[in-house]
Homo-oligomer: A and B are copies of this chain.
Amino acid sequence: MGGPASQTVVMKFGGTSVADADRIRNAAKRIVSAKEDGNRVVAVLSARGKTTDELISLAYEVSDQPHPREMDMMLSTGERISCALAAMVINDLGHEAESLTGSQAGIVTDTSHTKARIIDVRTERIERVLDEGKIVLVAGFQGTSASIRSDDGEYELHGNVTTLGRGGSDTTAVAIAAALGADVCEIYTDVGGVYSADPRLVPEATKLPILSFEEMLEMSASGAGVLQLRSVEYARNHGVRIHCRSSFDDGPGTFVLTEDETMERPLVTAVTHSTDDARITLTQLPDRPGVAGRVLTALAAANVNVDMIIQNEPESEGHSADMSFTVPRDDLHAARAALEPLIAELGIGEVATDPKMGKVSLVGAGMRTHPGVAAKTFSVLGDADINIEMISTSPIKISCVVHEDDVPTAVRELHRAFELGEDSIRREDPRGDDHRPRAA
């Protein structure tokens, strides 16, 4: 399992890694192996396979709008079952394990049912069980609610079960790792790491040995599904070293570290993409202060997550401009409904929509010091006859909105042009020879 003895290790196994009895046994063996290496081990488990989806269906069988508090009470059971099963296996393997619910593990959240945020981790019980020499299993994705008192920032426990939203088990693991001061938070998946592009689109994509938090944040935000964005933010804010690795083999995966630890960075690290975007364009938007704010407030009130926003300069002062933005395709209907009333109110020309959009992004910490990446990106896509609909950049990312059908070609061409494939790059690795990059 690597790493010297007597470290504290938090391991997180996702739904596919505990989907059936065999996989639960496999996860239990990984956990026991880490313990036998001398570590203090906390493992965070997700619900088995499709359990959460099945529970959601069950709720919609009895209610069109299931009450969020009750949804959480129900959804939280899936992870508890996984943990109990894994604890049984670990006990059979001759080690002592105790499963804890989110509440028992001291995960305190705000009161936003189905999308709660962690506000504290009270580690007393986890520490006590670890001190007894036992392995701790924690039900991911859940906590117990508290309201923050405005006067002193302290909170008052309500004791209702909350859940953290999709992918919340990553955040549970990172939060526990932060609170325990763990040496590493290992995220186990069936893909075994973070790749230079989605291997399903780009077979020669390489597994990345190291990423900075900033790169991982940009990648999670622009389509890389390995780690939940919120968990990466939490890890960055609390300095938790993440290791994304495979549930099925012992090799190293991808370390996500602070930028100091990642040393010299390549120009471009990875190409990410998404194919479930839609574009909305508001034409002849009056050029008055507050108009854009009114539009975005209406979308926020409808719970529509706006991604890229572009507004043209008006032709001359006081005249109108166009404003375009992308939203998740599933939110397109809600977005239109929220915007229609504004046509008359603000005097907008029309609300045009384009539902089949995608996005391709280049991410790399080295971009900061190399301004040529954008120009090369545009010419690569141009050479491939791909029309760029919208562009947005950050210091370490360039995103281009393109037609959904162009996404696979765009990803492959950029991956090739920036030489991200196997054998085409070598990265610095501060952890020595044991951790050389391997074939994807």
Chain A interface (Cβ < 8 Å from any Cβ of B): 21, 24-25, 55, 58-59, 61-67, 69-71, 73-74, 76-77, 80-81, 83-85, 87-89, 91-92, 97-99, 101, 104, 125, 159, 161
Tell me the bound Cα distance from A81 to B76 in angstroms. Answer: 9
Q: Which of B84, B98, B159, B161 contacts A71 (CB 8 A)?
A: B84
Known: A67-B88, A104-B159. A73 touches B62 (CB 8 A): no
A59 in contact with B77 (CB, 8 Å): no
B85 in contact with A67 (CB, 8 Å): no
Known: A25-B62, A159-B104. A81 touches B74 (CB 8 A): yes
B159 in contact with A62 (CB, 8 Å): no
Q: Which residues of B contact A159 (CB under 8 A)?
A: 104, 125
A91 in contact with B67 (CB, 8 Å): yes
In the assembled complex, the CB of A21 is this many whole angstroms from the nearest CB of chain B, namely 4
Chain B residue with Cβ nearest A58: B85
In the assembled complex, the CB of A62 is this many whole angstroms from the nearest CB of chain B, namely 5
Q: Which residues of B contact A66 (CB under 8 A)?
A: 88
Chain B residue with Cβ nearest A67: B91
Tell me the bound Cα distance from A74 to B80 in angstroms. Answer: 6
In the assembled complex, the CB of A76 is this many whole angstroms from the nearest CB of chain B, namely 8
Tell me the bound Cα distance from A83 to B62 in angstroms. Answer: 12
A73 in contact with B67 (CB, 8 Å): no
A24 in contact with B62 (CB, 8 Å): yes
4 closest A-B pairs by beta carbon, nearest first, are: A77-B77, A74-B84, A73-B84, A63-B88
| Listed A/B pairs (27) with beta-carbon separation below 8 Å | A21-B58, A21-B62, A55-B81, A58-B81, A59-B84, A59-B85, A62-B85, A62-B89, A63-B88, A63-B92, A66-B88, A67-B87, A67-B88, A69-B98, A70-B87, A70-B88, A70-B91, A71-B84, A71-B88, A73-B84, A73-B87, A74-B80, A74-B85, A76-B80, A77-B80, A104-B159, A125-B159
Known: A62-B21, A62-B25. A83 touches B73 (CB 8 A): yes
Given contacts A59-B85, A70-B84, A74-B85, 10 further A-B contacts (CB under 8 A): A21-B62, A62-B85, A63-B89, A70-B87, A70-B97, A73-B87, A73-B99, A73-B101, A101-B161, A104-B159
Tell me the bound Cα distance from A61 to B69 in angstroms. Answer: 32
In the assembled complex, the CB of A135 is this many whole angstroms from the nearest CB of chain B, namely 12
Tell me the bound Cα distance from A155 to B65 in angstroms. Answer: 42
A92 in contact with B73 (CB, 8 Å): no
Q: Which residues of B contact A88 (CB under 8 A)?
A: 59, 62-63, 66-67, 70-71
Tell me the bound Cα distance from A83 to B88 in angstroms. Answer: 26
Tell me the bound Cα distance from A98 to B158 in angstroms. Answer: 13
Tell me the bound Cα distance from A249 to B84 in angstroms. Answer: 39
Chain B residue with Cβ nearest A79: B77
Tell me the bound Cα distance from A162 to B245 in angstroms. Answer: 35
A61 in contact with B98 (CB, 8 Å): no
Tell me the bound Cα distance from A83 to B71 in angstroms. Answer: 11
Tell me the bound Cα distance from A394 to B58 in angstroms. Answer: 49
In the assembled complex, the CB of A148 is this many whole angstroms from the nearest CB of chain B, namely 21
Tell me the bound Cα distance from A24 to B101 in angstroms. Answer: 26
Q: Which residues of B contact A91 (CB under 8 A)?
A: 63, 67, 70
In the assembled complex, the CB of A11 is this many whole angstroms from the nearest CB of chain B, namely 18
Known: A25-B62, A92-B64. A80 touches B84 (CB 8 A): no
In the assembled complex, the CB of A70 is this many whole angstroms from the nearest CB of chain B, namely 4
Tell me the bound Cα distance from A211 to B55 in angstroms. Answer: 41
> Which of A55, A92, A97 is most buried by chain B, counting CB atoms within 10 A of its CB?
A92
In the assembled complex, the CB of A43 is this many whole angstroms from the nearest CB of chain B, namely 14
Tell me the bound Cα distance from A97 to B67 in angstroms. Answer: 10
Known: A62-B21, A64-B92, A91-B67. A80 touches B73 (CB 8 A): yes
